[in-house]
C-alpha cells in the first residue's frame, strides 16, 4: 500500500520553512520595538496606527488598481502570446522567444529609468515628438495610467511562461478534430485549446495579481517624485519615517498583504475545481501540429513586435543611450556628448567580475537546487486529497506577501537568532534560502501544473505493474513533466539573476551580486556607469538564454 | 574563498606563509605616533583583515581602500556597502545576536551612528591622530568624523542663468514665488519623510534659521518634487527635467558638476550645513587592532589626502591642501560653514514625536504655498 508518511513529512517541512518567517512577522507586528530589543513591549496600537493612516488607504487603493490592471491586461495578452508562439505558425518564433524573457530578468529600476530616458519629459522620444508636432507629448511617464500600462506589459512574460508550458503538452488530435469539423482558428483556440490550459491561466492570474501587491521597483522609481505610494513603497517609508527603522509598522503592512491571499486562493481553488479534466499527457502517442493562421499571421507578428518594442526596445534603448553619453536631454546635442568612457570605467571596478560570477552561480546552480525543492514539494502534494496539501495552497503564497527587503530581513533574523544556523548568516547559501522562500509559489505552481497534466492512467499503469512511488516519480511523472521542470528552472534563473533587495542583509564580503553593483553605482550618482553595467548584464543574460535555447534547453518537444 | 573565514585554517595558512616567505617588513609606524604603535600594527597584521560596514559607495571609496592596501599590504579590508537605514538594522541585529562581524562602522547617517554609541556598540579608542583633527569632529573617543561635506544647492545653468540663481534661502524663496510658472515642477529636494539624510539636513536648516519655512512654502507654490535618491535628482537636473536642486550633498554635486558643464554648484551664503561621515570601532570587533590602524589611517595626513583629493569626499583634517578639503572650503566660505555638532544631541533627529511634529509643520508650509 502507499506509504503516505513521506508526503506529510515533506509538506510539514515546507510548512515550517514558510511559517517560521511568517510567525516572526506576526510576532513583530505586536511589539513596540524590534523583537530583539530590550525595550520591546507588546501592543496592538500599531495596527490602529496603520489603519487610521490615510496614506495606507491611498497606497492600498493604488495597489488594487495596479493589480487589477495587471490581471486584465497581462493575462489575456500573455495567454495569447503563448498560443501564438507555441501552437501557431506565426513567423519569427525562434528569435522572439529569448526576447520574451528579457523583461523577467531586467531590474525594475533599470526598466523604469529606461522609460524616463526615452519617454520622460526630457526623453529623446518626447523631444522628437515635440519637434515633429510642435506640442508637448500626450503621455506622462509619471502618471498612474502609464504605471498601470508599464506594469501590465512587463508582466506578460510571467503569464507566458505558465501558459506556454501547459500548451506544449496539448496534443493536436482534439484541435484537428475541431478544424476538420469546420472550426476557424479562433473557434479552435477558444473552444478547444483554451479550456485545456485553463488551470495554468487561472493560476498565473492569481500569481500576477499577487505580484501586484508586492510590486516595489517600478512604482518606486516612477512614483517617487509625486509621492504616489503603493503598499510596498508605503511599507518602505517606515524604514526612515520614525528615525530608526520601525519593523513593527512594516510587519503590520505585510500582515495586511498576507490577508489578501485568502480571497485569492479561495478564488483559485474555485477556478481549479475540476482540474482533473485537464490532463493532457495520455497513453496514446500524439503529435502537435501547428494551427495555420493564414493571413492573420502577419497581424499577429506585428502585434508581438509592438509589445516587444514597448517592453524591451523602448526602455533598453533609453539605458543604452545613457551608457554612451556623458549627459542627455533636450539641452545637449547628442553628438557632443558621445563617449565610451562609461564602459572603460566599468572595467576598472574590481567587484564587477566577482558580482557577475556570484549572480550566475546563484541563478544557475541555485535555480536548479530550488527546482529540486519545488519538485519534491510538488510530488508530495500531487494527487493528494489530504488536508495538509489544501493548507499548503494557502501557505505557499504567504512568503511572497513580503516585499523583497522585508523577506531578506526576516530570513537574516532567522539565521542570526537560531543558533545552529548562525555560522551561515552571510553566505550565498543563506541568500539562496531567501530566494527560494520568496519565489516558492511561482516555481512550485509551474511544476505542480505540469505534474497534473500527466494522465492518471499512466501512473496507475506503473503502480499496477509493481512500481513504487519513487519509481513512478522517476520514470513516469518527472520525464513527462520535463517542460514544466525546465521552465521552472529558467524562471528561477531569470528571477534570481535580477534579485537584489532580498539579499541585502545576507551579503557578506565576496557575495555581491550584479544588483548590488547597480544600486551602489546609482546611489553614488554614477548613473552613466550603472547604465553601462545594465547593458552588459542584459547582453550577458540574453546571450545566455539564447544559447541555452539553441543548444539543449528546448522548452518545446 | 570561504575556507579563509575559518580562523584556525586561516592562522595556519598565515603561519605557513610566514615560514616560507622571507619576512616582509612590518608596515612603518607613521611619524608622531606613540612608541608602542608598532606593536599595534604588528597585532593588526597578525589579524590580517578588517571588516568595515559602511554606506559610502564602492566607486567613491575605491581610492581609499587601494591606498590603504599600499600602506599596509598585510591588512586586507573587507568592505561591505549597505544603505544607511539597512546598515543600522544589520548592525543592531547582529549586535543583539552577539554575532557582530563589523570591526568598524562608517556611515553618513550621523544620528543613527550616534545611536550606536548610545547602545554600547562603539568601543573607546583614542586615535593616534586625534590631535590633528578639529576638536569638535569627534566625541568621547568613541566616534570620529572623517569627512567635512557641505550641503549645497545645484542648478542647471542652461535653465537658470548664473546671474539670476539665488544664493540664500530667503532670496531663493522670493525668486521661486516670483517665477512660479517658469519653475513649476522644476525644483527637486529630498523627501524628509522617506530620506533619513534629507530629514537630517533640513532639520539642521530649521535649527540654523527660520528662513527655511518660507522656502518650503515656495516649494509648495512651484510643485517641487521630492526624492530619496541623490543620483536620480542630479540626473534629472542634468537632463533639464529639473532646474534647481536644494540640499544636495556636496561630494555628489561637485562630481556631477565636473562631468556636466551645465550643472553648477552654489554654496549657500546665509549658512551652509556641513555633515560628516562618522566612524566607530566596534566593541565586539574580531580584529580590533586592524580596525584601529584603519581608523588612524583614515584620519592621517596620507589618508585624508586621498579622502579629499581622490575620493572627493572632502577632508576634515586642516593641514590637507586641495579644493575638497576643510582648508579649501574655509578659506573660500569662512563662517558661512556650519558643521553639525557631534554629540548626544545628534539623537534628537531620530526621536519619533519631534519628527512627526516636523512633518506636520512641513506639510502645512507646503500647503500654504499652493
B51: which strand partners? Answer: B78
* B281, pLDDT greater than 50: yes
* B297, pLDDT greater than 90: yes
Report the pLDDT averaged over residues A366-383.
Answer: 90
What CA–CA distances, in Å, run from A393 to A389, A470, B103? Answer: 7, 23, 45
Asked if A421 is an interface residue toward chain B (Cβ–Cβ < 8 A), one would say no
Q: Burial, B1: exposed, middle or buried (Cβ in 10 Å; 0-12, 13-18, 19+)?
A: exposed
Rg for chain B, CA atoms, rounded: 22
Residues B192-237 pLDDT 10s = 999 999 999 999 999 999 999 999 999 999 999 999 999 999 999 9
Say how far apart CA A166 and CA A143 lie, in whole Å.
Answer: 36
Judged by DSSP in three states, A170 sits in coil
Say how far apart CA A427 and CA A407 lie, in whole Å.
Answer: 16
Q: Which residues of B touch A520 (CB under 8 A)?
A: 57-59, 81
* B63, pLDDT greater than 80: yes
Asked if A23 is an interface residue toward chain B (Cβ–Cβ < 8 A), one would say no
What CA–CA distances, in Å, run from A340 to A323, A349, A350, A534, B188? Answer: 8, 15, 19, 15, 29
* ipTM at complex level: 0.89
B265: which strand partners? Answer: B154
Asked if B92 is an interface residue toward chain A (Cβ–Cβ < 8 A), one would say yes
Q: What is the pLDDT of residue B5?
A: 63
* A276, pLDDT greater than 60: no
Asked if B11 is an interface residue toward chain A (Cβ–Cβ < 8 A), one would say no
Residues A151-187 pLDDT 10s = 999 999 999 988 988 888 777 787 788 888 888 877 8
φ, ψ for residue A81, nearest 5 deg: -60, -45
- Give the three cell numbers for residue A57: 488607504
* B23, pLDDT greater than 70: no
Across chain B, mean pLDDT equals: 91
Residue with cell 546563484: A362
Q: Which residues contact B215 (CB under 8 A, 6 or more apart)?
A: B169, B170, B172, B173, B176, B246
* B188, pLDDT greater than 70: yes
Residue with cell 528552472: A489
Asked if B81 is an interface residue toward chain A (Cβ–Cβ < 8 A), one would say yes
Point out the residue among A224, A243, A525 whose CB comes nearest to the CB of B350.
A243
Report the pLDDT averaged over residues B260-287.
Answer: 95
Q: Which residues of A touch B116 (CB under 8 A)?
A: none
Residues B326-369 pLDDT 10s = 999 999 999 999 999 999 999 999 999 999 999 999 999 999 99
B356 min Cα distance to partner chain A (Å):
8
B231 min Cα distance to partner chain A (Å):
4
Asked if B83 is an interface residue toward chain A (Cβ–Cβ < 8 A), one would say yes
Q: What is the pLDDT of residue B10?
A: 65
Q: Which residues of B touch A527 (CB under 8 A)?
A: 231-232, 234-235
Q: What is the pLDDT of residue A252?
A: 95
φ, ψ for residue A143, nearest 5 deg: -85, 165
- Give the three cell numbers for residue A87: 501552437
* A41, pLDDT greater than 60: yes
Q: What is the pLDDT of residue B13?
A: 64
Q: What is the pLDDT of residue B25?
A: 59
Q: Which residues of B touch A416 (CB under 8 A)?
A: 93-94, 97, 99
pTM score of the predicted model: 0.89
Q: Do A525 and B97 touch (CB under 8 A)?
A: no
Say how far apart CA B107 and CA B109 lie, in whole Å.
Answer: 5
Minimum Cα–Cα distance from A235: chain B residue: B194
Least confident of B4-8, B141-145, B210-214: B4-8
Q: What is the pLDDT of residue A538?
A: 86
Asked if A351 is an interface residue toward chain B (Cβ–Cβ < 8 A), one would say yes
- The larger pLDDT score, comparing residue A425 to residue B154, is at B154
Is-contact A287 A172, C-beta < 8 A? yes
Q: What is the pLDDT of residue A282?
A: 67
Among B69, B86, B114, B284, most A C-beta atoms within 10 A, so best to mutate, is B86
Rg for chain A, CA atoms, rounded: 24
Point out the residue among B60, B79, B232 whose CB comes nearest to the CB of A224.
B232
Three-state SS letters, A336-383: HHECCHHHHHHHHCCHHHHHHHHHHHHHHHHHHHHHHHHHHHHHHHCC
Q: Which residues of B touch A221 (CB under 8 A)?
A: 232
Q: Which residues of A touch B225 (CB under 8 A)?
A: 225-226
Asked if A520 is an interface residue toward chain B (Cβ–Cβ < 8 A), one would say yes
B32 min Cα distance to partner chain A (Å):
34
A363 min Cα distance to partner chain B (Å):
19
B159 min Cα distance to partner chain A (Å):
9
Amino acid at each position: 500500500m502507499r506509504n503516505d508518511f513521506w508526503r506529510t513529512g515533506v509538506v510539514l517541512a515546507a510548512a515550517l520553512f514558510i511559517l517560521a518567517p511568517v510567525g516572526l512577522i506576526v510576532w513583530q507586528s505586536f511589539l513596540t520595538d524590534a523583537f530583539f530589543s530590550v525595550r520591546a513591549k507588546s501592543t496592538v496600537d500599531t495596527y490602529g496606527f496603520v489603519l487610521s493612516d490615510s496614506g495606507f488607504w491611498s497606497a492600498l487603493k493604488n495597489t488594487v488598481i495596479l493589480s487589477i490592471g495587471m490581471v486584465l491586461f497581462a493575462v489575456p495578452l500573455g495567454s495569447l502570446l503563448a498560443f501564438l508562439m507555441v501552437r501557431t505558425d506565426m513567423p519569427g518564433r525562434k528569435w522572439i522567444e529569448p526576447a520574451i524573457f528579457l523583461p523577467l530578468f531586467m531590474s525594475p529600476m533599470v526598466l523604469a529609468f529606461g522609460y524616463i530616458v526615452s519617454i520622460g519629459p526630457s526623453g529623446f522620444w518626447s523631444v522628437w515628438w515635440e519637434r515633429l508636432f510642435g506640442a508637448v507629448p500626450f503621455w506622462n511617464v509619471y502618471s498612474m495610467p502609464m504605471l498601470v500600462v508599464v506594469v501590465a506589459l512587463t508582466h506578460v512574460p510571467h503569464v507566458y511562461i505558465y501558459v506556454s508550458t501547459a500548451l506544449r503538452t496539448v496534443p493536436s488530435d482534439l484541435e484537428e478534430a475541431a478544424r476538420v469539423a469546420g472550426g476557424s482558428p479562433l473557434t479552435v483556440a477558444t473552444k478547444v485549446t483554451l479550456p485545456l490550459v485553463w488551470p495554468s491561466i487561472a493560476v498565473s492570474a492569481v500569481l500576477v495579481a499577487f505580484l501586484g501587491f508586492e510590486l516595489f521597483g517600478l512604482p518606486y522609481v516612477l512614483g517617487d517624485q509625486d509621492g504616489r505610494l503603493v503598499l510596498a513603497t508605503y511599507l518602505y517609508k517606515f524604514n526612515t519615517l520614525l528615525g530608526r527603522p520601525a519593523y513593527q509598522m512594516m510587519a503590520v503592512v505585510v500582515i495586511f498583504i498576507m490577508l489578501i491571499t485568502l480571497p485569492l486562493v479561495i478564488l483559485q481553488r474555485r477556478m481549479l475545481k475540476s482540474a482533473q479534466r485537464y490532463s493532457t499527457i495520455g497513453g496514446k502517442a500524439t503529435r502537435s501540429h501547428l494551427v495555420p493562421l493564414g493571413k492573420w499571421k502577419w497581424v499577429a507578428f506585428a502585434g508581438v513586435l509592438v509589445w516587444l518594442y514597448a517592453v524591451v526596445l523602448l526602455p533598453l534603448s533609453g539605458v543604452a543611450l545613457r551608457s554612451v553619453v556623458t549627459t542627455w536631454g533636450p539641452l545637449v546635442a547628442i553628438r557632443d556628448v558621445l563617449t565610451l568612457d562609461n564602459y572603460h570605467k566599468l572595467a576598472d571596478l574590481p567587484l564587477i567580475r566577482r558580482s557577475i560570477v556570484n549572480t550566475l552561480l546563484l541563478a544557475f546552480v541555485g535555480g536548479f537546487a530550488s527546482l529540486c525543492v519545488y519538485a519534491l514539494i510538488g510530488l508530495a502534494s500531487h494527487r493528494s486529497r489530504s488536508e495538509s496539501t489544501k493548507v499548503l495552497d494557502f501557505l505557499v503564497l504567504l512568503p511572497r506577501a513580503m516585499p523583497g527587503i522585508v523577506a531578506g530581513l526576516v530570513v537574516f533574523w532567522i539565521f542570526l537568532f537560531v543558533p545552529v544556523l548562525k555560522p551561515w548568516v552571510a553566505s550565498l547559501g543563506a541568500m539562496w534560502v531567501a530566494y527560494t522562500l520568496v519565489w516558492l509559489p511561482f516555481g512550485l505552481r509551474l511544476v505542480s501544473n505540469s505534474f497534473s497534466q500527466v494522465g492518471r492512467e499512466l501512473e496507475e499503469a506503473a503502480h499496477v505493474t509493481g512500481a513504487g512511488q519513487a519509481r513512478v516519480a522517476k520514470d513516469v511523472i518527472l520525464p513527462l513533466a520535463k517542460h514544466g521542470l525546465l521552465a521552472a528552472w529558467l524562471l528561477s534563473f531569470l528571477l534570481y539573476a535580477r534579485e537584489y533587495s532580498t539579499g541585502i542583509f545576507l551579503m557578506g564580503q565576496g557575495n555581491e551580486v550584479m544588483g548590488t553593483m547597480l544600486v551602489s553605482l546609482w546611489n553614488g550618482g554614477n548613473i552613466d556607469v550603472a547604465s553601462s553595467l545594465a547593458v552588459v548584464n542584459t547582453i550577458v543574460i540574453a546571450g545566455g538564454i539564447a544559447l541555452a535555447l539553441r543548444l539543449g534547453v528546448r522548452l518545446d518537444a | 574563498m570561504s575556507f579563509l573565514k575559518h580562523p584556525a585554517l586561516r592562522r595556519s595558512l598565515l603561519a605557513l606563509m610566514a615560514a616560507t616567505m622571507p619576512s616582509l617588513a612590518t608596515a612603518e609606524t607613521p611619524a608622531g605616533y606613540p612608541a608602542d604603535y608598532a606593536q599595534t600594527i604588528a597585532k593588526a597584521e597578525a589579524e590580517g583583515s578588517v571588516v568595515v560596514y559602511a554606506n559610502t559607495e564602492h566607486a567613491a571609496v575605491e581610492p581609499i581602500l587601494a591606498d590603504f592596501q599600499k600602506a599596509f599590504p598585510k591588512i586586507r579590508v573587507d568592505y561591505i556597502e549597505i544603505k544607511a537605514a539597512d546598515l543600522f538594522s544589520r548592525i543592531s541585529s547582529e549586535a543583539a545576536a552577539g554575532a557582530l562581524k563589523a570591526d568598524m562602522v562608517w556611515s553618513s547617517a550621523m544620528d543613527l551612528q550616534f545611536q550606536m554609541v548610545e547602545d554600547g556598540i562603539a568601543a573607546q579608542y583614542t586615535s593616534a591622530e586625534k590631535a590633528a583633527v578639529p576638536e569638535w569632529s569627534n566625541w568621547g573617543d568613541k566616534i570620529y568624523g572623517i569627512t567635512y561635506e557641505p550641503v549645497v544647492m545645484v542648478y542647471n545653468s542652461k535653465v537658470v542663468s548664473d546671474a539670476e540663481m539665488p544664493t540664500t534661502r530667503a532670496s531663493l524663496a522670493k525668486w521661486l514665488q516670483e517665477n512660479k510658472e517658469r519653475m513649476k515642477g522644476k525644483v527637486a529636494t529630498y523627501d524628509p519623510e522617506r530620506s533619513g539624510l534629507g530629514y537630517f539636513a533640513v532639520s539642521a536648516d530649521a535649527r540654523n534659521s527660520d528662513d527655511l519655512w518660507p522656502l518650503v512654502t515656495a516649494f509648495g507654490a512651484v510643485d517641487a518634487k521630492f526624492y530619496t535618491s541623490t543620483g536620480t535628482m542630479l540626473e534629472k537636473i542634468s537632463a533639464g527635467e529639473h532646474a534647481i536642486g536644494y540640499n544636495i550633498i556636496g561630494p555628489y554635486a561637485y562630481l556631477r558638476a565636473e562631468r556636466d558643464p551645465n550643472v553648477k554648484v552654489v554654496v549657500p551664503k546665509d549658512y551652509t550645513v556641513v555633515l560628516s561621515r562618522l566612524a566607530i570601532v566596534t566593541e565586539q570587533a574580531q580584529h580590533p587592532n586592524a580596525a584601529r590602524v584603519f581608523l588612524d589611517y583614515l584620519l592621517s595626513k596620507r589618508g585624508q589626502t586621498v579622502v579629499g583629493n581622490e575620493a572627493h569626499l572632502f577632508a576634515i583634517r586642516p593641514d590637507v591642501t586641495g579644493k575638497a578639503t576643510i582648508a579649501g572650503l574655509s578659506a573660500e566660505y569662512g563662517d558661512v560653514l556650519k558643521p553639525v555638532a557631534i554629540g548626544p544631541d545628534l539623537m534628537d533627529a531620530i526621536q519619533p514625536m519631534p519628527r512627526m511634529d516636523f512633518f506636520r509643520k512641513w506639510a502645512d508650509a507646503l500647503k500654504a504655498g499652493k
